[in-house]
Structure 1
Amino acid sequence: MTPDPYILFLLGLGLVVLLVSWAPVGLKRLPLTLAILCVGVGVGVFSTGLMAFNPDPRTWDTVTEKLTELVVIISLMGCGLKLDRKLGWKRWAVTWRLLAIAMPLTIGAVLVLGVWGLGLALPMALLLGAAMAPTDPVLASDVQVGPPGSGEEDEVRFGLTSEAGLNDALAFPFVHLAILASLGGLATSEGLLDWGLVKVGWKIAAGLGMGWLVGAAFGWLLFRDSSRRLSHLGDGLIALAATFLAYAATELVHGYGFLAVFVAAVTIRNWERDHAFHEEMHDLSDQVERLLMMLLLVLFGGALANGLLASLTWIDIAVALGILLIVRPVAGLLALIGAPQPFREKLLLAFLGIRGVGSIYYVAYGLNHGDFGNSERLWALVGFIVLASIVIHGVTATPLLERLARWRTARAG
């Protein structure tokens, strides 16, 4: 008898929830991560043929865009809530360097590799560059700072967390530029003017403004000097409410919702910074994020099992590894020239630029709103880079950070 697909789905969901709760402890002594395990589960389950559903993003492009969007915004709220360091030009100097220098250098280098190395059309190469620019806030959780007030906020972890919180929004103008190019708008002054004034100027300003307004409103509701303040409820679901309201309100005024969510989280964090309720909100946001991330990675494994990488050539693989292992590290190191951090910290900040869910979202968004033609090769490239990042960074991140911590201890002694 053929098993009921619904029952198989419930079985798989139960296993994923079990992995979410157990794996962080069970995998601590193994060279594996929860992300690697879930991708492997997805490949294994969908390779058996028991699941008739094919989770190929090329088929389910709109669903892929919305699901990855949901995971990213929840992750951005968690990123902002766990930052103990106050906002400041000098305090966040590493972040500004990575955003202002490393990200544009990465986009430019990938654009050149896409056009001259892979023979992609300019719009598609630009979309690939924009998708490869952000450090993923979802899959980079292992290299980020600890929960609010935990003290786990060295320069490397802080830099990667704050960068991931901001560059998912700041790569968006380049995605819009790729969409404009795909529609032939680069040849018109009206298209370029709209991109500069609206896609860059207004959308970033609206994201910053709406994020601050929503964050300030929630900060007042949660921590005002009254017995009626919402933090007394002790319900971390308020973090999800802030996430959805900040994102939706900003999108309604045509701003960057990703930016607004992170700004709202940082604003909330700045209200009564030592209050225990910050940890309640972070924990709830983190649990929901991990559950959605694992479901998404199982589906990603299913897409791999069903031929997502079938169109890859050896040249594609070489360029993809070059993007991951050369372009980002070199761009990161160039951005950190003159920074006061030791070279070991700079090297880790440059190397651990994990690519993941955000990259998938940007490709899905770009393809759904532009006219890029056949996207099979682009999906194969992005899928391979995300897979390689999950494996390479997943296996090396924890040992490298532990080694850095031992070096710091020995240096201090």
Structure 2
Amino acid sequence: MDPVLVFALIGLLGIGSQWLAWRFQLPAIVLMLAAGLIAGPALGILDPKATFGDLFKPIVAVAVAVILFEGGLTLNFRSLRDAGPAVMRLVVVGAPLGWIASTLAVHFGAGLSWETSLVFGGIMIVTGPTVIAPLLRQARLAARPASILKWESIVNDPIGALAAVLAYELIVALNTTTTFAQAAWHFGSGLAVASVLGYVGGAAIAWAFARGKVPEYMKVPVLFGSVLLIYAASDYVLHESGLLAVTVMGIYLANAHLPSLTEIRRFKEHATVILVSGVFVLLAASLTMADFANLSWRTVFFVLSVVLLARPLTVFIALIGTGLPFREKLMVAWIGPRGIVLVAVSGLFGTQLAELGIEDGQGLTAISFALVAGTVILHGFSMAPLAKLLGLTSANTPGLLIVGGSRWATNLAAVLEKAEVPVLIADRNWFRLRTARSSGIDVFHGEILSEVAEHTLDLNKFGLILAATDNDAYNALIGTDLGPEFGRNQVFQVGRHDEMEGKTALPVTLGGRPFGPGTSYSDLSEAVTQGASFRLTRLTEAYDLSDYRAQHPDAIIFGHLGDGGLTLLGDAVPDTLPEGTRLLVLSHKSDRGEGAAESVA
């Protein structure tokens, strides 16, 4: 098959699987695995090794280098200090213990050599941040165990990759030299070359970006090119040291406190999604029937030993003395799905181990797929029931996070809270929160976009965001920043004052969806001052949406509450809504209808 067509097909399968996973709320990794296996060994449509030949390994290596660099960008030491003692213990104590336990599980469970087990055990430290996040959203896990699992996966992502790289460098040193002294020299020089080049590359980028030596529109391309340059240069100076160099470079930049790092990281995340999807499908399609024939009962035993022994022992030992309740420790100990990074890195190292003469290294790709599929299925289907059984679930109804402590926002929050919808009002001004505090509504005093908010707030129970301050630019910033995390369809902002100002208005591509018909902050404040208030009105068989509209032509419909929870509306209101739905409207107290009105003054 034509290589260009193969690239297109791999992109279609990878990104298409990601989209289907989002559309139907399924684990993306399972769909990508199925797509690769069907297109590859099942139907024979894709045969990447035959198509790309000698380029197959470099393609995977460069993609893995970018993935590891992006992983290094997440390792902010200040964030690690703020993550809490439980996460610190899982990183400082749990990562080495997990490496040892996983190595033993691979060697005695799967029957692989010590060399292969040591490399694979290192990358098994990674618990799959791309898998954990959607599982936490679906299970609606309570704040503390959800935070522990999230931060463990984020911090251990580069640490696990780093462990695998170090293990591989050690094995290369031992297998390419004749004496221990030579091996030690080779290993030490590899660490030194990679560390120096990674440090120099990161320092050069930080210096150039901080001093304006690179224009904003070129920062991402320059960074991307620098990653490839450092990887290639390190590999040229000392073979196979490039992956370590780009990981060090990423870690340096993560702690350089660059103002533009957020935008850079977001682009790298997007690039990583594309690369990870492509590599995952590429590796899955490159499997053969012989690879599956090599899987046996020992593979099942290996997966079970990881899930039932290695992971629980690591977590329980690491969390000794943290004061966490047993049920929370049990939850963290059970949940440890492996993700795409494990497959990508092990697929590359498996090929390289085989080239060193360690034959069972070639089987790493198949066994890594088995581990990913096993853990994702086991943990994906059991997480929500176990959380419910242990009493560790967050609110059942996805809540609303309101940014801005105005009088009308407090009124809105009070109405929703009465309907048992979780609500939180956040504001940087303590004085503006006084009405919400006196009403008993949950508040957050501080910057909602800060790391403190990210670390301390239980954002899992909020499915909707409303940017409701009197500053259009700040509302747009909230919508733009939180849109990728919550989904742009779930982020709203009050109508902009500058929408009619032509060229001076903010671009429509920034910010969230309009709240209702785009009513501005000042219009909402004026309406509440004149006696209007938010209320919930229940629709019945005898009093439907058309009846309500006919009786209340001036009322503004902002959303509705039904079996699916709270739904906020933009400027388009459905023609009909089911019986029993409660309309969220802004109307005056004098407005009375036949529906059951529930309001809070």
Q: TM over 0.5, yes or no? A: yes
Question: 3-state SS of the aligned residue for 1:308?
Answer: helix
1:219-256: CA deviations, max 9, x gaps?
111121xxx43253365223312322332343344384
Matched with 1:261 is: 246
Larger mean CA deviation between 38-47 and 75-84 belongs to: 75-84
Q: 2: distance between equivalents of 1:135 and 1:119?
A: 16
Matched residue pairs, number? 383
Matched with 2:223 is: 239
1:81 partner amino acid = L
Listed as ranges, the matches of 1:14-413 within 5 Å are 15-16=12-13, 18-19=15-16, 22-23=19-20, 25-27=22-24, 30=25, 32-46=26-40, 49=43, 51=45, 53=47, 55=49, 65-82=57-74, 86=78, 101-113=93-105, 116=108, 120=112, 124-135=113-124, 140-143=129-132, 154-179=147-172, 190=179, 192-199=180-187, 201-224=188-211, 228-233=212-217, 235-254=219-238, 256-273=241-258, 275=259, 277-304=260-287, 306-339=289-322, 344=328, 348=332, 351-352=335-336, 354=338, 355-368=342-355, 370-373=356-359, 380-392=366-378, 406=394
Indicate conservation of the 8 Å contact 2:97/2:314, yes or no: yes
* CA shift in 2, pair 1:281/1:174, >3 Å: same
RMSD: 4.4
Gaps of at least 5 residues in structure 2 are 135-145, 396-456, 460-601
Q: 1: distance between equivalents of 2:191 and 2:269?
A: 26
* CA drift at 1:389: 4.0
Give the structure with higher Rg (CA). 2
1:61-85: CA deviations, max 9, x gaps?
9656434332322123323334565
Higher helix proportion: 1
Question: 3-state SS of the aligned residue for 2:220?
Answer: coil
Gaps of at least 5 residues in structure 1 are 146-152
1:327-347: CA deviations, max 9, x gaps?
234234323434566663685
Matched with 2:510 is: none
Taking CA–CA contacts closer than 8 Å with sequence separation of 6 or more, which of the two structures ends up with the larger relative contact order? Answer: 1
The alignment's TM-score, normalised by the length of structure 2, stands at 0.53
* CA drift at 1:365: 1.8
Higher strand proportion: 2
2:302 partner amino acid = V
Indicate conservation of the 8 Å contact 1:55/1:303, yes or no: yes
Q: 2: distance between equivalents of 1:67 and 1:337?
A: 43
Indicate conservation of the 8 Å contact 2:101/2:310, yes or no: yes
1:193 partner amino acid = A
* CA shift in 2, pair 1:322/1:117, >3 Å: closer
Give aligned-pair identity as a percent: 18
* CA shift in 2, pair 1:85/1:325, >3 Å: same
* CA drift at 1:154: 4.2
2:64 partner amino acid = V
Larger mean CA deviation between 346-355 and 316-325 belongs to: 346-355
Q: 2: distance between equivalents of 1:86 and 1:252?
A: 33
1:126 partner amino acid = E
